[in-house]
Structure 1
Amino acid sequence: METLTRLEQVIAERKAASPDASYVAKLNAAGIEKIAQKLGEEAVETVIAALSGSREEVVGEAADLIFHLLVLLQARRITLGEVMAELDRREGTSGIEEKASRSE
């Protein structure tokens, strides 16, 4: 968890940097649509690696996916703490029950 918290902090700091000097700033300058698109691309790459890649490829793609998710959360002003609180709230609830509660 410490790594994710540090990464969240770095992403917040780099968001204000020059897009010429920071990938995070470049993504933010392109807008939420571009950030969401990039997250989707990373999700697809993670799925492909899971189905046909090596263990190392899955690890690398999962890291890219988490990074881009944190960039998206930062762009939407959602903290990692908020996401963790939601996971804590769901703890002990079956996935089937949790999903059913959202469709009611």
Structure 2
Amino acid sequence: MTGFTLHDLERRIAERAAASAEISYTRKLLDRGAAHCARKLGEEAIEVVLAGAGETRERVIAEAADLMYHLLVLLKARDVRLAEVEAELESRTAQSGLAEKASRKDV
């Protein structure tokens, strides 16, 4: 098991965001804006779905890693910290998933 966390990845994305687009894929994504980052996240999500439906375990892992990276890039583009998402997840543990989902106004 590795000691690398999503917070480590978030820090790495912040570092790469400070680099030039000539050497940083992260900077290149961010320069294209949040909408582009969101579309890229959507593409990666589809790749995870396809891998999960019938590809190898290793492919699922690789695609999930891509998805998590692109999610954190989108969060960076929208100035949302991983800790804020974690706080939202924590707040949802006070009730069952079914009750929480039913309580959402946008569902």
Same fold (TM over 0.5): yes
Matches within 5 A, 1:21-32: 21-32=23-34
The percentage of counterpart residues that share the same residue type is 54
Question: What is the match of residue 95 of structure 1?
Answer: 97
TM-score (norm 1): 0.93
The size of the alignment, in residue pairs, is 104
1:84 is matched with which residue: 83, 86, 102?
86
Structure 1 runs of 4+ aligned residues shifted over 2 Å read none
Alpha-carbon offset, residue 93 of structure 1: 2.0
Q: Judging changes above 3 Å, is the alpha-carbon distance between structure 1 residues 58 and 36 closer, same or farther for their aligned structure 2 residues?
A: same
Alpha-carbon offset, residue 12 of structure 1: 0.9
The CA RMSD over aligned residues, in Å, is 1.5
Q: 1:41-93: CA deviations, max 9, x gaps? A: 00000000000100000011001001100001111111110111111111142
Alpha-carbon offset, residue 14 of structure 1: 1.0
TM-score (norm 2): 0.91
Alpha-carbon offset, residue 103 of structure 1: 2.2
In structure 1, the gaps of 5 or more residues are none
Question: What is the match of residue 52 of structure 1?
Answer: 54
